[in-house]
């Protein structure tokens, strides 16, 4: 029996390859993700380990005790017997970095660390130049320096959010990086005195190097006893850093595998459909086997073995493709924060998983088709089984489909929390899938009307062919429907929740320039507002502050546009104070001048916030140039002032919109790219179905060619058939996603400030165009096959 299976598989090599293509893609994604995240994990753990090079023992405090100025503690540590050297170390974020006298700012979430002047206690080594030995010297990571073109010897400016920028000389470059996920940020290494000055608070960590002959364990015990702070040895430090690094990599891997599961499910759809078609076409062969005495069980088993063979072949190819994918993933994922330079790792576990997924999914998907397809009575071999009667969809399926879809739609309509939306969406899609053999052909007829009018007889023929087996076209488009629904829902939600950037910028910006941190998380120094105000030539300055008032349990913000007068306030509706009442902030009663929607927020003027609060964060500054000053000139004036603030960047409205868009579009692009694999697999399914249909219609097509259909026309019929399938699937998916998105937006909008559905027509049009194009591509191979053989040979085909 096995040799028969292998011979059948060999004879149907194209079919086998086609059915395995979806397996290949699914396995490629899963194994590629695993290889990439294994590589990521080993890179992160290596980073974590080198971070403690040369450190024998580390002391870290939960917080700085107020009576200790740090100086005393380090002195005590250094006196402990067995300590060769000890150094306080800081690790600071919110760092601003610029060069060229401040004119060129390095954007990114930078990290600054300090190293001891003692090389024996430096965990970082210089790859070029040398490490900082004295105040005023710094080292940068090589990647940042070469990207920005900063040469050794250059003067750079570094600031932290509380301090003024200072100038340093770049004395060396290191191949260490900031570590972790962010690829943009620089690593800034400075000498301890500079760091102490910049930080302005004592270090919470002290690293220690042991004297010769003292073991780290001994030293840690001695230090713990002497200074009463938890001391951890090198190995302990490395282990806990590795653990958290592996944790990070695992989170990343799980997110990727989520997409992998989607891809594999799509592949399962396609495989099941392929087997259904293939077995339908083999009815006569199967019947013949039964006629000459094979049991049904034998035939069923042989189909499963065939599935296993195909699954195995697909897995092997998929692993190969996975390697390519793993090499390409870092570039694709860089914008969502994956580090570059990850070398994929192919582990034995990945190979096993890939094989198990490929073979398992193929066999499981083939199970149901195999059961149906082998339930052929032996007499079928004698009849004329070439014209298959399509089984109509069962009544039970239709009724349950209608019910499930109705419940899903109902849930979507009333959903007021995300869980209900997800449940409703799942039910609605499932219901649709059940109803699809009835719904899809009907929709195909509608979608194809305009084409039929345009394309004449050839196209009408294609459409008649498309719907001749309702189950088949339904299953084929279903995969596409699911894929498109996923992508379109994500797109709609993303575009709707992030109100269009222009509107956001319009709402925020009332002055010409907006000055904010160089990344979304970078804070800007408080004195920036003061400095700008001292320079009348830049124009009018509007700082925005943010602070939390514990007593009021509310956020206090600067009211930008429509600000209240000095000494009065705006409040959010959630505070329950009406116009004419008063709100007390830090002991001062502010008359309420207006009420805005929202939960617990008070808006005051910038001056009132500064007067009332000691520490208020400066979030941004808006600047309106003096009247009559040209944009370029105002810009130059402003930038000259900002040169002293490496972390602050000025935007006009158009630039700010670009920045908002860039962030959102990058994330959306990555998610879309990951989901598009599902759509690609679905389109492979379209190609599959078409190819198998072409095989099935060999004689019909030959007859058509005989009575005068040209090669071109025959190709056209197949393209039209593919096009109609793809468009129908895309349209259904889009409609479903609109329903889901509306429900989703409504459910999170709970109290008042509703999110409107924004339909990004441009993106949907692109989606449709891509589906159409891909469908046309998908029809190329089947069409070539259809016109390849001679008419007479095809007329004689069995």
Partner 1 sequence: MPALQATALSKVYGTGESAVAALDGVDVSFQAGRFHAIMGSSGSGKSTLLHCLAGLDKPTSGAVRIGDTDLGSLNDEKLTLLRRDHVGFVFQRFNLLPVLTAQENILLPLAIAGRKPDRAWFDQVVAAVGLTDRLGHRPSEMSGGQQQRVAVARALITRPWVIFADEPTGNLDSRSGDEVLGLLRDAVSQLGQTVVMVTHDMHAAARCDRVVFLRDGRYAAALDSPSPDQIVAMLEHADRIGR
Query: Look-up: residue for tokens 């070439």?
Result: 386
The region of 19-27, 274-282, 500-508, 708-716 touching partner 1 under the rule CB under 8 A is 708-716
Query: Taking CB under 8 A as the rule, does residue 710 contact partner 1?
Result: yes
Query: Taking CB under 8 A as the rule, does residue 561 contact partner 1?
Result: no
Interface mask toward partner 1 for 468-487; x: CB under 8 A = x-------------------
User: Which of positions 713-772 make contact with partner 1 (CB under 8 A)?
Assistant: 713
The smaller minimum CB distance to partner 1, of residues 569 and 704, is found at 704
Closest distance of CB 267 from partner 1, Å:
30
Using only C-alpha atoms, the chain has a radius of gyration, in whole angstroms, of: 34
Closest distance of CB 399 from partner 1, Å:
28
The smaller minimum CB distance to partner 1, of residues 481 and 694, is found at 694
* 3-state SS, one letter per residue, for 412-465: HHHCCCHHHHHHHHHHHHHHHHHHHHHHHHHHHHHHHHHHHHHHHHHHHHHHHH
**How many Cα atoms sit within 13 Å of 451 on the Cβ side?**
23
CB-based contact 558:585 (threshold 8 Å)? no
296: three-class secondary structure by DSSP:
helix
Alpha carbon 494 to chain centroid, angstroms? 12
Closest distance of CB 319 from partner 1, Å:
41
Closest distance of CB 687 from partner 1, Å:
21
Helices and strands in the chain: count of H runs, count of E runs: 23, 21
Alpha carbon 647 to chain centroid, angstroms? 27
User: Which of positions 86-145 make contact with partner 1 (CB under 8 A)?
Assistant: none
756: three-class secondary structure by DSSP:
coil
The smaller minimum CB distance to partner 1, of residues 62 and 798, is found at 798
Query: Taking CB under 8 A as the rule, does residue 790 contact partner 1?
Result: yes
Closest distance of CB 457 from partner 1, Å:
3
CA proximity to 246, closest of 35, 38, 51 = 38
Alpha carbon 94 to chain centroid, angstroms? 25
Q: Which residues contact 436 (CB under 8 A, 6 or more apart)?
A: 474, 475, 477, 478, 481
Considering CB under 8 A, how many residues would be counted as binding partner 1?
A: 28
The smaller minimum CB distance to partner 1, of residues 456 and 750, is found at 456
Closest distance of CB 725 from partner 1, Å:
16
CB-based contact 737:428 (threshold 8 Å)? no
The region of 140-148, 463-471, 506-514, 686-694 touching partner 1 under the rule CB under 8 A is 463-471
The region of 168-176, 612-620, 662-670, 788-796 touching partner 1 under the rule CB under 8 A is 788-796
Query: Look-up: residue for tokens 């990086």?
Result: 177
The smaller minimum CB distance to partner 1, of residues 25 and 709, is found at 709
Closest distance of CB 688 from partner 1, Å:
21
- For partner 1, the binding residue among 255, 703, 776, 780 (CB under 8 A) is 703
CA proximity to 722, closest of 470, 463, 485, 488 = 463
Query: Taking CB under 8 A as the rule, does residue 708 contact partner 1?
Result: yes
- For partner 1, the binding residue among 147, 712, 784, 788 (CB under 8 A) is 712
Interface mask toward partner 1 for 442-461; x: CB under 8 A = --------------xxx-xx
Closest distance of CB 682 from partner 1, Å:
25
Query: Look-up: residue for tokens 């006893």?
Result: 225
- For partner 1, the binding residue among 217, 527, 639, 700 (CB under 8 A) is 700
Closest distance of CB 387 from partner 1, Å:
6
Query: Taking CB under 8 A as the rule, does residue 711 contact partner 1?
Result: yes
CA proximity to 195, closest of 130, 138, 131 = 138
> With 0-12 CB in 10 A as exposed, 13-18 as middle and 19+ as buried, what is 132?
buried
Interface mask toward partner 1 for 382-401; x: CB under 8 A = ----xx-x------------
Closest distance of CB 741 from partner 1, Å:
38
The smaller minimum CB distance to partner 1, of residues 3 and 792, is found at 792
Positive/negative CA dihedral, 194, 199, 201, 204: negative
The C-alpha angle 321, 361, 776, rounded to 5 degrees, equals 60
Centre a 10 Å sphere on the Cβ of residue 299 and count the other Cβ atoms it contains: 22
Which residue ranges make up the site for partner 1 (CB under 8 A)? Answer: 386-387, 389, 456-458, 460-461, 464-465, 468, 699-700, 703-713, 790-792, 795
């Amino acid at each position: 029996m096995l040799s028969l299976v292998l011979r059948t598989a060999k004879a149907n090599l194209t079919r086998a390859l086609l059915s395995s293509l979806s397996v290949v893609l699914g396995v490629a994604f899963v194994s590629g993700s695993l290889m990439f995240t294994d590589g990521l994990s080993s890179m992160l753990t290596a980073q974590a380990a080198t971070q403690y090079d040369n450190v024998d023992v580390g002391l870290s405090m939960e917080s700085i005790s107020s009576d200790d100025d740090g100086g005393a503690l380090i002195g005590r540590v250094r006196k402990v017997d067995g300590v060769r050297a000890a150094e306080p170390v800081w690790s600071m974020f919110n760092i601003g970095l610029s060069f060229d006298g401040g004119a060129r700012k390095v954007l990114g979430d930078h990290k600054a660390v300090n190293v001891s002047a003692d090389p024996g206690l430096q965990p970082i080594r210089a790859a070029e130049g040398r490490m900082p030995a004295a105040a005023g010297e710094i080292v940068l990571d090589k990647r940042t320096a070469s990207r920005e073109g900063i040469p050794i010897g250059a003067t750079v400016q570094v600031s932290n959010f509380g301090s003024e920028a200072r100038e340093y000389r770049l004395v060396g470059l290191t191949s260490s990086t900031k570590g972790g996920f962010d690829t943009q940020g620089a690593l800034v290494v400075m000498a301890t005195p500079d760091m102490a000055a910049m930080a302005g608070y004592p270090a919470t960590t002290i690293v220690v190097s042991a004297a010769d002959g003292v073991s780290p364990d001994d030293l840690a015990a001695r230090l713990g006893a002497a200074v009463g702070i938890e001391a951890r040895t090198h190995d302990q430090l490395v282990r806990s850093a590795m653990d958290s690094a592996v944790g990070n990599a695992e989170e990343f891997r799980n997110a990727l595998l989520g997409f992998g599961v989607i891809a594999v499910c799509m592949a399962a759809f396609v495989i099941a459909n392929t087997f259904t078609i293939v077995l339908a076409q083999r009815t006569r062969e199967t019947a013949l086997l039964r006629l000459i005495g094979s049991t049904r069980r034998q035939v069923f088993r042989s189909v499963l073995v065939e599935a296993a063979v195909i699954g195995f072949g697909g897995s092997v190819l998929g692993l190969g493709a996975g390697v390519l994918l793993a090499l390409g993933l870092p570039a694709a994922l860089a914008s969502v924060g994956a580090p570059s330079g990850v070398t994929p790792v192919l582990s034995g576990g990945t190979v096993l998983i890939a094989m198990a997924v490929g073979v398992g999914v193929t066999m499981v998907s083939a199970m149901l088709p195999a059961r149906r397809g082998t339930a052929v009575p032996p007499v079928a071999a004698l009849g004329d089984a070439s014209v298959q009667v399509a089984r109509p969809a069962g009544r039970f399926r239709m009724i349950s489909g209608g019910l499930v879809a109705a419940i899903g739609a109902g849930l979507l309509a009333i959903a007021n929390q995300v869980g209900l939306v997800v449940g409703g969406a799942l039910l609605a899609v499932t219901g649709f899938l059940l109803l699809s053999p009835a719904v899809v052909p009907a929709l195909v007829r509608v979608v194809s009307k305009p084409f039929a009018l345009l394309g004449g007889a050839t196209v009408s023929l294609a459409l008649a062919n498309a719907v001749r087996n309702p189950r088949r076209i339904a299953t084929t488009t279903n995969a596409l429907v699911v894929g498109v629904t996923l992508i379109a829902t994500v797109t709609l939600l993303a575009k709707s929740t992030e109100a269009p950037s222009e509107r956001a910028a319009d709402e925020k910006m009332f002055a010409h320039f907006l000055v904010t941190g160089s990344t979304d998380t970078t804070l800007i120094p408080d004195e920036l507002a003061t400095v700008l105000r001292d320079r009348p030539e830049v124009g009018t300055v509007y700082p925005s502050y943010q602070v939390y008032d514990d007593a009021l349990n509310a956020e206090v913000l600067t009211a930008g546009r429509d600000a209240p007068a000095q000494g009065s306030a705006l409040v959010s509706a959630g505070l329950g104070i009406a116009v004419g009442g008063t709100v007390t902030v830090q002991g001062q009663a502010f008359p309420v001048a207006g009420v805005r929607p929202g939960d617990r927020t008070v808006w005051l003027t910038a001056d009132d916030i500064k007067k009332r609060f000691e520490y208020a964060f400066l979030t941004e500054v808006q600047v309106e140039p003096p009247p009559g000053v040209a944009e370029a000139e105002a810009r130059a004036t402003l930038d000259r002032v900002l040169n002293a603030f490496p972390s602050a960047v000025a935007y006009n409205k158009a630039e700010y919109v670009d920045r908002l868009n860039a962030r959102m579009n990058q994330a959306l692009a990555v998610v879309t790219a990951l989901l598009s694999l599902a759509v690609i697999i679905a389109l492979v399914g379209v190609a599959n179905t078409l190819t198998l249909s072409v095989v099935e219609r060999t004689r019909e097509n030959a007859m058509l060619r005989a009575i005068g259909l040209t090669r071109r026309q025959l190709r056209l019929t197949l393209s039209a058939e593919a096009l109609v399938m793809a468009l129908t699937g895309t349209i259904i998916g889009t409609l479903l996603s609109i329903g889901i998105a509306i429900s989703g937006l409504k459910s999170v909008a709970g109290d008042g400030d509703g999110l409107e559905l924004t339909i990004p027509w441009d993106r949907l049009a692109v989606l449709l165009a891509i589906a159409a194009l891909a469908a046309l591509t998908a029809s190329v191979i089947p069409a070539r096959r259809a016109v390849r053989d001679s008419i007479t040979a095809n007329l004689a085909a069995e």
